[in-house]
Chains A and B, each alone.
Chain A
Amino acid sequence: MSMYKDIAWNGLWKQNSILAQLLGLCPLLAVSTNLVNAVSLGLATILVMMLANFAISALRALIPYEIRIPVFILIIAALVTVVDLAFNAFLHDMYLVLGIFIPLIVTNCIVLARVEAFAAKNGLRASTLDGLMMGVGFVWVIALLGAVRELIGQGTLFSGIEMIFPTLSGIQVLPESYPGFLVAILPPGAFFVLGLLVAGRNWLDARSNQRVREHRLHDQHPPATTVTA
């Protein structure tokens, strides 16, 4: 049970694919121009990560160590292609929205990283959960990044949601006269906001480490070694 808890905590925070590992920046920075795009890519990424981790975990006994990386890439690329085609054929309306994001997932090295670091060494259930949790960790950070960039850049939130739910429409958060701040939407803005998010995470971690240390000093325990992610 605690193993599954660890997997969840690693994915969501401690080893978060973006904030801690800084992996998958290419799709992250390209797509997080608004909240709806960001969440759409995130959901597609969760699906692919779960499938990839499941498939590699199931086949891990058959894959020779020396050629594991090409085999992993082959399997991930094949899965992404199959997901892309299946979406196009069976969920065409959703494909029109998510379609452009699915091929981008191949460029997300977090998929390969989790397959190599986790699924190749662990059982089916733990590996699938790891894919899910790493994916959820990716989604919440990319959603936050998308929301901040959209709000600063355009003054809106959820713009473009009518492409997924035709009855809904985006919210104008800042006054209509807000001129917009282009830098937030262009790539440099993505780096600025991402930098602030990473700094925020480090600050929170440093603060909680500090607390643990003070607590231990107070209890006359020997100083703890700092835990690195």
Chain B
Amino acid sequence: MNEPIEVGRRESSVLRISLRTAAIMLAFTLVFTAMMAGTYKATEPLVAASALAEKLRLIGEVLPPAQYDNDLMADAVILPPQAALGLDDETRLWRARRNGGPAALVFEAAARDGYSGRISLILAVGADGRLLAVRVTGHKETPGLGDYIDPKKDRNKTRPWITQFNNLGFDGVPRDKWRVKKDGGRFDQMSGATISARAVTNASGRALAWAVENRDKLFTLPPDSRFEGKETP
């Protein structure tokens, strides 16, 4: 007669311990999630300001501020994902103007065929259809081998590899010659590390062609409107 009662008691104490443990786990989760959320909220403005400064610094590398006189950050167009640019996400394209006339387009692109993953680029294309400059903003290429596409890692400090694209347009280098020399094109690559150079060269060629094709439309869209080009998922 006594047994069922004892079993019942034991079960209820097991249940109590389980509930207590679960409650403690829940309390820890809440406290530490609150800590993370609090830190996120507290640092958000500072992080956003740093990210904006970083973006302006990157833009400054491809387009010196002396070349335009408008408020670049305010004169942007929203770009839906563009297959020609290798982008999966919505990005912004900034329009530089001088004396009210178009000066340059600044936008991001990506090469999906790097040696290890995608290579992110930022480009400035002049209103005359020349590629003013291109810079690598993120990559995972092999350190010491393929990372010369980033001028910070390039051993040639006087004339880094990526600067050979500066101020070139399809009038100077025909579209079908916009390749690395190994593929029969015009651009140098480092022996033994062709893949990184090929990825950047081809991506910048595709991006330049896209910008040349769409530049009139891109310059005339009202600020903060969406660019509705040939949208591809």
Contacts and interface: CB of A to CB of B under 8 A. Distances in A.
B142 interface: yes
B152 A82 contact: no
B220 interface: no
A173 interface: no
Interface string B47-85: 100100010000000000000000000000000000000
Contacts of A90: 43, 46
A226 B29 CA distance: 45
Interface in A84-112: 85-86, 88-90, 92, 95-96
Contacts of B87: none
Nearest to A155: B144
**Do most interface residues of chain A lie in helix, strand or loop, or is the interface mixed?**
helix
Interface string A67-82: 1001100110010011
A154 B193 CA distance: 14
B50 A78 contact: no
A64 B152 CA distance: 50
Contacts of A28: none
Contact of A185 (B28, B33, B143): B143
Interface string A180-192: 1010011000000
Given A63-B28, A78-B36, A82-B36, 4 more contacts: A64-B24, A67-B25, A154-B144, A185-B142
Minimum-distance CB pairs A-B, first 8: A89-B43, A89-B46, A78-B32, A154-B144, A92-B50, A33-B143, A85-B43, A82-B39
Interface of A: 33-34, 37, 62-64, 66-67, 70-71, 74-75, 78, 81-82, 85-86, 88-90, 92, 95-96, 150, 153-154, 159-160, 162-163, 180, 182, 185-186
